Structure 1
Amino acid sequence: MEGLYMACLIGGVVYALVSVIFGDLLDGIFDFLSLDFLQPMTLVGGITVFGGAGVMLSRYTSLGAWPVGLISLLIAVVAGIAVFFLYVKPMENSENSIGFTMQSLSGALGDVTVPIPAAGYGEVLVKVGAGHTNQIAASFDNKEIPSSARVVVVEVKDSVLYVSEIDLNV
């Protein structure tokens, strides 16, 4: 039984090393698994912990083969769940994209960087994700909007943001 534990431990360590070196090539190997918690990090981490716990329990306790196997399996399941909720899930939620569409800017707040005349174009700075973008803007209300005024994007037509000045002190 110790051979199985050692194979799981060594296999997990080898997979970790290979994934560090060839991570992009291995990306998507487990895509056929549609369950969210069956991530490679979770599965291989659990198998590795199963092997390590099995080796340690069989060498340093007087428990029999079945209790060592069951305890190792329990430890591996707990470790897999911990890896999923403490590492994999937060990393999935933290992924940000710098891409945006013009239509997604509707409702966004911005600051006027180039004054917008009543019947003309200016420029606004809008926060997008973790960054900012400068866009051509026109007044939605046909009113002049001064530089550094706070605005909201009402609509987007023909790659132009139509904005209205807002007062946040109200």
Structure 2
Amino acid sequence: MGEFGMPMEQLYMYTLLAAGALTVLCVFFGEVTEFKGTWPIFNPIVILAFFTFGSAIGFLLETATEFNEWSVLVMVVLAAAILDLLLYFVILLPVSSASTIHSEESLPGQLAKVVIPIPGGGCGEVVIETYSGVISKSATGYNNEAIAKDEKVMIVEVSEDIVYVKVCAS
């Protein structure tokens, strides 16, 4: 008999089920659980991964070996911590830094190319080439001027998902 009046295998299995269910919820509602600017250990994905790894390893060790509960717990904590660090540094950190999402605050001052002509007082379209790909945005002339296709333009400002551009001097 283990902790909480139940066998340790059962405790590990319940923990695995709970951590798995919370992980699924975290995937669907990830924006709500995002902790920007805090230490990475407080990221819900990292915490849930630790419990998932630990409970899976604990369940396997309890059912497949003859180690006592405390030695299994020590091995679980060490193995889960190592796997969690690997998950964070090998997968989560590179994926988060390679995001293709751009912010509207980063667009002013960038160069773009007109792909759909911009009529005077109307909207056209520009593409912005970045290190992570090509971004297409609706555009209008900064002073309501018409801009022809294939012109190089500079983004002056962004408002309501429309970029205001002016022709670059060649």
Q: Is the 8 A contact 1:9 1:47 kept in 2?
A: no
Q: In the TM superposition, what is the alpha-carbon distance from 1:40 to its structure 2 partner?
A: 1.8
State the one-letter code of the partner of 2:154. Answer: V
> How has the CA–CA distance of structure 1 residues 26 and 99 changed in structure 2, closer, same or farther, with 3 Å as cutoff?
closer
Equivalent residue for 2:117, pick from 108, 114, 117: 114
Query: What are the ranges of 5 or more consecutive residues in structure 2 without an aligned counterpart?
Result: none
Q: Is the 8 A contact 1:41 1:88 kept in 2?
A: no
Runs of 4+ in 1 over 6 A off after TM superposition: none
Query: What are the ranges of 5 or more consecutive residues in structure 1 without an aligned counterpart?
Result: none
d(CA) in 2 for partners of 1:53, 1:112: 55
TM, length-normalised to structure 1: 0.62
- Counterpart of 2:39 in structure 1 is 35
> How has the CA–CA distance of structure 1 residues 43 and 6 changed in structure 2, closer, same or farther, with 3 Å as cutoff?
farther
> How has the CA–CA distance of structure 1 residues 124 and 46 changed in structure 2, closer, same or farther, with 3 Å as cutoff?
closer
1:137 aligns with 2:141: yes
- Counterpart of 2:150 in structure 1 is 148
TM, length-normalised to structure 2: 0.62
Equivalent residue for 2:107, pick from 104, 110, 126: 104
> How has the CA–CA distance of structure 1 residues 92 and 12 changed in structure 2, closer, same or farther, with 3 Å as cutoff?
farther
Q: In the TM superposition, what is the alpha-carbon distance from 1:19 to its structure 2 partner?
A: 4.7
Q: In the TM superposition, what is the alpha-carbon distance from 1:163 to its structure 2 partner?
A: 1.9
State the one-letter code of the partner of 1:108. Answer: L
State the one-letter code of the partner of 2:57. Answer: A
1:24 aligns with 2:29: yes
d(CA) in 1 for partners of 2:62, 2:103: 52
Q: Is the 8 A contact 1:9 1:51 kept in 2?
A: yes
Q: Which structure has the larger Rg over C-alpha atoms?
A: 1
CA RMSD of aligned residues (A): 4.2
- Counterpart of 2:86 in structure 1 is 82
- Counterpart of 1:50 in structure 2 is 54
- Counterpart of 1:126 in structure 2 is 127
1:10 aligns with 2:10: no
Q: Is the 8 A contact 1:9 1:48 kept in 2?
A: no
Q: Is the 8 A contact 1:138 1:161 kept in 2?
A: yes
